[in-house]
Structure 1
């Protein structure tokens, strides 16, 4: 059953998150199994709970890794964006979600209990994605309006997310919308232009 002493706690945490992330990518949140992750790494499922404490914290760790990869994906898109950085952000949002659908959906399918709090370390990592969007929105606004960037960035994330979710789940197709990413880019540009 176990290689119980093969890894330090930090090594175990990393091993569990990496294998859990692979498993989540393969099967999605609804079919995710902590027991399957434990089996894949050669430990008991109890080891996972000894390391993470709860199932929710395990899922938070896996989803936080997705946020890290997503933020890096957006950074790479921005490196090659040229002048149209807002378009690069929107297209990066869509391409990450399309290429990593199970992982992306798991972020939104998992809900913490109402009395649970997001751990600070996970929140800080997840917040880097929003910070990246805020920086780009601020750069697109006139200097005197840049204080609007945090609020506007969050609104734009919500708008782009809705477009992306509708594209992936087939809702836009049922509505006869053929190019949802272009619509999302247009909405983002309109919102930024209206803030000038």
Structure 2
């Protein structure tokens, strides 16, 4: 086996192990020494395939974003066929479906979802461009139906609006699922999301 192949296998084994820890116990339970023990390598070997633990965590979060991306696509992320115009009512329904899809993913993958927002790069370093691009893709699901509601809104303003709406939905989901506060049953959370998103969409409609 070549050195490159050994490194590739070690890298995959470490990401798999880190993913299991985060999914089962949360980001705070992730320890480099425990990972090395689980995959059967020396502690220092981790840093021959990852420059630091942050990059390993981002690799796990990248997998989580891919799962969330797929979940949102199945929840309502597919827009109308190219060349067709989406009706405002359909756009509103799609936004509601996306919000509830986001809630469903967060509820079913609590630790993985929390790790997306709990992780901070060491020493205040910026998030790498490749990972930021993966994060930005999620906003595109919100931007598309917003285009049907605000047809004349400049692209930059639509992008900012998509982030604001995502932040509002995320806030409701986060507080509703937070065990330190009074948790809210999922059906009630869904209803709150439907009210928020529908009211926002109604206020945004042209004319």
Q: Normalized against structure 2, the TM-score is what?
A: 0.80
Once residues 133 and 67 of structure 1 are traced to their aligned partners in structure 2, the CA distance between those partners, rounded to angstroms, is 15
RMSD after superposition: 2.8
1:156 alignment partner in structure 2: 165
1:62 aligns to what SS in structure 2?
helix
1:23 to 2:21 alignment? yes
Instruction: Note closer, same or farther for the CA distance 1:20–1:10 as it changes in structure 2 (3 Å cut).
Output: same
Q: Normalized against structure 1, the TM-score is what?
A: 0.84
Instruction: Note closer, same or farther for the CA distance 1:6–1:144 as it changes in structure 2 (3 Å cut).
Output: closer
1:143 to 2:151 alignment? yes
Instruction: Note closer, same or farther for the CA distance 1:81–1:172 as it changes in structure 2 (3 Å cut).
Output: farther
- More deviation in 183-192 or 98-107? 183-192
- More deviation in 165-174 or 55-64? 165-174
After TM superposition, give the deviation of residue 190 of structure 1 in Å: 1.7
Instruction: Note closer, same or farther for the CA distance 1:4–1:32 as it changes in structure 2 (3 Å cut).
Output: farther
Instruction: Note closer, same or farther for the CA distance 1:4–1:161 as it changes in structure 2 (3 Å cut).
Output: farther
1:85-104: CA deviations, max 9, x gaps?
11110111101100000111
After TM superposition, give the deviation of residue 136 of structure 1 in Å: 3.1
Q: Which of these residues, 11, 14, 35, is aligned with residue 13 of structure 1? A: 11
1:86 alignment partner in structure 2: 95
Unpaired runs of 5+ residues, structure 1, are none
1:143 aligns to what SS in structure 2?
coil
1:32-60: CA deviations, max 9, x gaps?
22222222222222222221111122212
Query: How many residues were matched structurally?
Result: 192
* Aligned 8 A contact 1:138 1:146 in 2: no
Unpaired runs of 5+ residues, structure 2, are 81-89
1:58 to 2:56 alignment? yes
